[in-house]
Amino acid sequence: MSSNFEYEILDSVSDPILAASPVYNSEQKIIDFEIDYVNPVYLQMTFDFAHAGDKFSSFSSKLPQSVDWFYNAVKTVENNKSFETTYYSQRDNTWFHITMNKSKNNRCIVTLTNDNERKRIEAQLNDLTYNDVLTGIPNRSCFNRVFDDTVEKAAREKTSVGLMLIDIDDMKSVNDVSGHVAGDSVLRRSAHILRRFENDETRIFRLGDDEFVVLINNLPSRNRMVTIADVIFESFQNGSISISAGISICPDDNTQAADLLKYADLAMHAVKKNGKNDIAFFERTMYESFLHHTLLQEKLLIASENNAFELYYQPQFNIETNTLRGFEALIRWHDDTFGWINPEEFIPIAEETHVIIRLGKWVLETAAETLKTWQSEYGFKGIMSVNVSPMQLTDVNFVIELSHLIKKYDIKPGTFEIEITEGICIDNIKRSVKLLNQIRTLGVLISLDDFGTGYSSFRYLQYLPLNTLKVDKAFVANLDSQVTVESNITNSIISLVTKMGIDTIAEGVERIGQLDALKEMKCHNIQGYLRGKPMEKTRCDAILKGDLSLLVRTGDEPLDVIGISVSK
C-alpha cells in the first residue's frame, strides 16, 4: 500500500483482507511474501493469526496443507491471474473461501470469507441429492458416481469389485394388500439389514423402488463374494423378507460399469423367472438369452406390422360321443431365422411390448371370419375357441370391438368362445365379473384356461360366469389306471365344476390310458394329440367335408379304431 489513507479505506471494508509484498532474492526470484497490511476484520476472523511484518514462511506450517499459500501467491503475482479455493481450518474450526488477486503495485491481495453457512447448505443439498429420503442410505445418483470411479480404480490397481443387485420380492403385493406404509417399512428394514455389512470395502445404495445394491471393493476372490452374498441372503431370510439377487464381478464378467450393472440385473431376473427368493451369479448364457430375447422382440414388432402370423386350429372332441365339439384357434409364427417359434416364447414378449393388443385383434377377427365360413359352407355347428390375453381385456374398447365382430360375421350365439386365464381376477375380481357378464350378453361363451396352475382358486369359480373349464395338461400328463395325486385332484375338479353346471375339457390328452381315466371321471371333452394336432385351415376344411383321414394326430392307437365323427 502506498499510504495510510489506503489502509484507512481497507479498515472500513467488511471483507477480511490481507496485503503482502513479494520478497526477491538476488536473481529476482520470489522466495517469500511479507505481510504489509491486515485489516481488523481479517484479524478478528482468524483470531489474530497473522500481522503486518510476518512472512508467509513463518506460519505456512500452521496452515492446512490443502492450500499452498506461497505457491499460489507467486502464480497470482507472476501471471496476474486470480486464484480461489475453499479449505477447512481445524485451528479455527471454520471453512474459509480464499481469493488471491494482484494489485497495481505488484502486491498479492488475499481476501478471506467465512464459508461455514455455504458449506452447511451445500451439505444439505448434497444429502438431498445423494441420499435416499426414505431409508437414509446413498441413492442412485451417488451410486452412479461412486460405481464408475470404483471400477476405474479397480482397473488401474488390478483389483476385483463385486456387485450384488437386490430386488425385494412382491413389493407390489405388499403395497396393494397392506398399504404403502407397510411397504415403506419393508424398505427401511431392508436398508437396516444392509447397513450391518457396511465397512471400508463395502458400500450400500438404494437404486429406487425395491432395488438395492451392495458394492464391494478389493474383493479377494469369487468365493469371498459367495460367502458375503450367502450371509446377506440369510439376514434377509431371518428378517422374513424375500429377495432375488444377481451378482456380477469385475473383471471376471466385464470391466465396464454399465455392463456389470446390466449383468447383475440379468442374473437377478433369472432368479425371478425361476421362482424368486434366491441368488444367482451372472453367466454368459444369461447374456446370450438376453440377446436372443431382444432380437426376438425386434422381429416380433416387424412381424406384427407385416401380418406374418398364421392361425392353426386344434380339434376338441366329446368323450362319450366321439363327435367334434369344435376347434381352438392357435397363433403360429414362422421366422426365416428362427423357424417355427413356440407361442410360449413369443406371447410373453408380445405382452411385454403390448403387441399382444394388435395380435389379439387379428386373431379374433381371423377366427370369427373362419367360423363364419365354416358355418356357411359346411353347416358347422361346433365352437370356435380363442385365447384372449388379460391385457386385451383391460382395453376399454374390447367389448365394443367384440360386439362389432359378432355382428359383422353374424356369429350364432353359443358358437364363439373366448378363453381367459385366472390372471384377470388378481387385480379386481368385481371388474372382471362385470366385464365377463357383458361378454356373455353377446352370446359369447367363456372358458377358463389352465385351471390348476398359477393363481388357481376355487373361490373364483363361484363368481366367474363360466361355460367351460379346461383342466391343465400338467394334471392330465400322469393320468392312467392307477390312482395318483394328479388323478385325485383332476377328479375333484371335474366333479365340482360339473355340479356347478360348467362343461369340462381336458388338455394334453395323448394316450388311451388318459382318455379312459378321464371317461371314468366323467370329463366331457378332450383336446390333445390323441385326437388331433393343431392344423392349417385348409386341412380343417377337408375334415369338415368328411375326410377324417386328414386329422394330424399322435396317439397310441391307430385312427381306424377310434371311431370319431364330425356332426353337422
- Work out whether strand 525-527 and strand 503-507 pair parallel, antiparallel, or are unpaired: parallel
Residues 6 or more apart whose Cβ sits within 8 Å of residue 294: none
Q: Which three cell numbers stand for residue 503?
A: 362343461
| Residues 147/215, Cβ–Cβ less than 8 Å | yes
The set of long-range contacts for 121-129, using a CB threshold of 8 Å and a minimum separation of 24, is none
Distance CA 142, CA 215 (A): 12
The Cα–Cα gap between 315 and 326 comes to: 6
The helix (H) or strand (E) run that includes residue 246 is strand 243-250
- Which run of H or of E encompasses 370? helix 355-378
For residue 254, give every residue at least 6 positions away whose Cβ sits within 8 Å of its Cβ, in sequence order, or none.
248, 260, 263
Cell 440385473 belongs to residue = 265
Closest CA relative to residue 54, chosen from 78, 38, 76? 38
Written as nine digits, the cell of 527 is 383336446
Give ∠ CA 344-399-434 in degrees, rounded to 5: 95
For residue 268, give the C-alpha cell.
437377478
Q: Can you tell me the distance from the alpha carbon of 232 to that of 125, in angstroms, rounded to the nearest whole number?
A: 31
Give dist(CA 380, CA 568) in Å, integer.
5
Contact in structure between 424 and 432 (CB atoms under 8 Å): yes
Q: How many CB atoms lie within 10 A of CB 153?
A: 13
Between β-strands 211-216 and 278-281, what pairing exists: parallel, antiparallel or unpaired?
unpaired
Task: Name every residue whose Cβ is closer than 8 Å to that of residue 356 and which is 6 or more positions away in sequence.
Answer: 347, 350, 389, 391, 392
Q: What's the pLDDT score for residue 114?
A: 84
What is the number of other CB atoms lying within 10 angstroms of the CB of residue 408? 12
Q: What is the pLDDT of residue 553?
A: 73
Helix, strand, coil percent content, the chain, rounded in steps of 5:
45, 25, 30
Looking at residue 557, what is its pLDDT? 60
Residue with cell 360386439: 403
Single out the residue of 319, 323, 434, 316 nearest to residue 386, CA to CA. 316
Note the helical H segments in 202-324: 222-238, 257-273, 284-305
Note whether 293 and 349 are within 8 A (CB).
Answer: yes
**What pLDDT is stored for residue 122 in this prediction?**
73
Query: Are 425 and 402 in contact, with CB atoms under 8 Å apart?
Result: no
Q: What is the pLDDT along the chain (568 residues), one digit of tens a residue?
A: 444 545 665 676 777 899 999 999 999 999 999 999 998 888 887 777 788 899 988 877 777 777 888 999 999 999 998 999 888 887 778 888 889 999 988 999 999 888 887 877 776 666 667 788 889 899 998 898 899 999 999 989 999 999 999 999 998 888 888 888 999 999 999 999 999 999 989 999 999 889 999 999 999 999 999 999 999 999 999 999 999 999 999 999 998 999 999 999 999 999 998 999 999 999 999 999 999 999 999 999 999 999 899 999 999 999 998 889 999 999 999 998 889 999 999 999 999 999 999 999 999 999 999 999 999 999 999 999 999 998 899 888 999 999 999 999 999 999 999 999 877 766 677 888 999 999 999 999 999 987 766 555 677 778 889 999 999 888 888 887 667 777 888 898 899 899 999 999 999 999 998 999 999 999 999 999 998 999 999 999 999 998 887 787 776 665 544 455 665 5
Which stretch of DSSP H or E encloses residue 433? helix 429-440
On whether the CB atoms of residues 368 and 406 are closer than 8 A, the answer is yes
Which are the contacts of 81, defined by CB distance < 8 A and separation ≥ 6? Answer: 75
pTM of the complete model = 0.68
Q: How far apart are CA 437 and CA 441, in angstroms?
A: 6
The C-alpha atoms of residue 364 and residue 388 are separated, in whole angstroms, by: 9
**Among all chains, which residue has been given the C-alpha cell 444367482?**
280
The CA-atom distances, in angstroms, between 19 and each of 6, 51, 84 are 12, 10, 15
Q: What is the pLDDT of residue 115?
A: 84
Integer Cα distance of 405 and 52 in angstroms: 97
Please report the beta strands in 72-201, taking only residues with DSSP state E, as ranges in sequence order: 83-89, 94-102, 108-114, 161-168
